[in-house]
Structure 1
Amino acid sequence: MMEYRVHARRIDAHGSLARAKAAEVVLDTDLAGRQDAMNPVELLLSALAACMLKGIERVTPMLQFQIDGVEVTLEALRQDAPPKLVAIRYEIVVDSAETEQRLDLLHRNILKYGTISNTLSAAVPLEGHLRRKR
């Protein structure tokens, strides 16, 4: 079993700070919101994006997959009562000359072996696609 650890603390009524290893992230915990920090939902979506990108980094050498770039876009739909996410949508755009079958294989591997994607898909519908950059 792997363990992960994050420590977060309130700075003031406008924000907080999270630390893991040697990294720090400013958190938007202001009730009015902040433009210079991510709120909890944006952080969750960022974790999913990082999971997908890390999955690509892990699987491309094994599949001998050639890519020139990848972008991930995510959006979440939140209901108010009770407050929760009811859907997460994603689009993965890969700059690659690989075949459609290989792109499909990459997509399946990203979803199958992602810690965050597996965890979130058990709690909320995770819908999306992977496409080639035009």
Structure 2
Amino acid sequence: MSDVIQSGKQKMNFHVETVRVDSHSSLSRCKSAEIVLDTDLAGNPNALNPAELLLSALSACIIKGVERVAPILHFQMKGIQVIVDGIRQDVPPKMEFIRYTVIVDTEESDERLHLLHENIKKYGTVFNTIAPGTDLAGEIRRK
């Protein structure tokens, strides 16, 4: 990942390379990381398919957003879990809707939990990429 200057503002640039391994899987590489992808038309139980990868990206975005804003908000927590479910429609093929639950192990007040959720929704890159084209909704709650 490198930074690019556009219109006077620094922008983040991402680079991923994916290769077909065989008729069952592909391999994506980014930085020093690799992930096996299910690109088999029959499905591959040992890898994430593209829709599952999208839902995983949303989960990671939510957790990374919490990691980013928790120190700013002085939000105390012991852990976090994100559960995401999506429904795919066939025509046209897309995620019809996505529902998520963020479960936070915290003693913070309900108001502070709500503030954390608002920050997740406002500043999440993947969240804000998915939201305009999908019925995306969720909740945050205490463990």
Residue 109 of structure 1: how far off its partner (Å):
0.4
Residue 2 of structure 1: how far off its partner (Å):
1.1
Aligned sequence identity (%) = 54
2:8 equivalent in structure 1: none
Residue 82 of structure 1: how far off its partner (Å):
1.8
1:4 equivalent in structure 2: 14
Rounded Cα–Cα distance in structure 2 between residues aligned with 1:9 and 1:54 = 27
How many residues align? The count is 133
2:33 equivalent in structure 1: 23
User: Which consecutive aligned stretches of 4+ in structure 1 deviate over 4 angstroms post-superposition?
Assistant: none
1:55 equivalent in structure 2: 65
SS in 2 for 1:65: coil
1:82 equivalent in structure 2: 92
After superposition, give the CA deviation of every residue in 1:50-106 in whole Å (9 maximum; x if it has no partner). Answer: 000000000110011100110000011111122111101000000000000000000
Match of residue 126, structure 1, among 125, 136, 139:
136
Greater relative contact order (CA < 8 Å, ≥ 6 in sequence) = 1
Match of residue 119, structure 2, among 93, 96, 109:
109
2:47 equivalent in structure 1: 37
TM-score using structure 1 length: 0.97
RMSD of the alignment, in Å? 0.6
Q: Which runs of 5+ in 2 are unaligned?
A: 1-10
SS in 2 for 1:43: helix
Residue 8 of structure 1: how far off its partner (Å):
0.2
Rounded Cα–Cα distance in structure 1 between residues aligned with 2:139 and 2:60 = 16
Q: Which runs of 5+ in 1 are unaligned?
A: none
SS in 1 for 2:12: coil
